Amino acid sequence: MSKLKKWVETVDEYSLTLLLRYAGEFGAISSLINLETGAYPLPRTEIDSVWQLRMNGAVLGIALIYGCEFSLENKAKGFNEPVFSEEYREALATDKRTVWARDLNAAAYAALMWNIGEFGIRALAQKKDKYAIPKFPEHPCYDWFMRLALYNIVRIFETCIQKLYK
């Protein structure tokens, strides 16, 4: 299993719900910006910084999955069925911040968790302070909200990583 997916083994239902909530908050704002500007928000990046480019790609991946613009055709049996149990799907549907994830299929869920892992590992590895969370200066009205959602995603990711390597 890929190192960026292994951490998923430590995610309990509570942590998963929080991850989906914060991915939803970030995705909702990103989708709103996309509607307003025609493009999803991306933090500024030094063109030769592979770390920043990969972080930005992961941020974009989270937004695309939220916005249902993620497409991965897979004909394997059950791969396009909802990944969560009916009980958990009903629980997700009760919160406006998680209802978007109710019908995630296995492909979208795997991509979401990979993007969270990609973003999280890079945010932790670059920490000068606590976490390296990108800024969105082109969107001052939304910057704080997007950064808070990403911060919380990294915080939960870090907890899962710590469980993995205990």
Digit-coded pLDDT (tens) for 59-77: 999 999 998 766 555 545 5
Percent of the chain with pLDDT over 70: 86
Q: Where are the domains of the chain?
A: 3-164
- In this structure, what DSSP letter does residue 95 have? S
The whole-angstrom separation of Cα 35 and Cα 30 is: 9
The whole-angstrom separation of Cα 139 and Cα 42 is: 10
- Both tokens assigned to 2: 């890929």
- 78-84 contacts at long range (C-beta below 8 A, 24 or more positions apart): 78/106, 79/105, 79/106, 79/107, 80/105, 80/106, 80/107, 81/105, 81/106, 83/108, 83/109
Give the DSSP H or E segment for 90: helix 86-93
Digit-coded pLDDT (tens) for 72-112: 555 455 556 889 999 999 999 999 999 999 999 888 898 99
Percent of the chain with pLDDT over 90: 57
78, 79, 80, 84: CA torsion to nearest 10: 80
What is the pTM for the complete model shown? 0.88
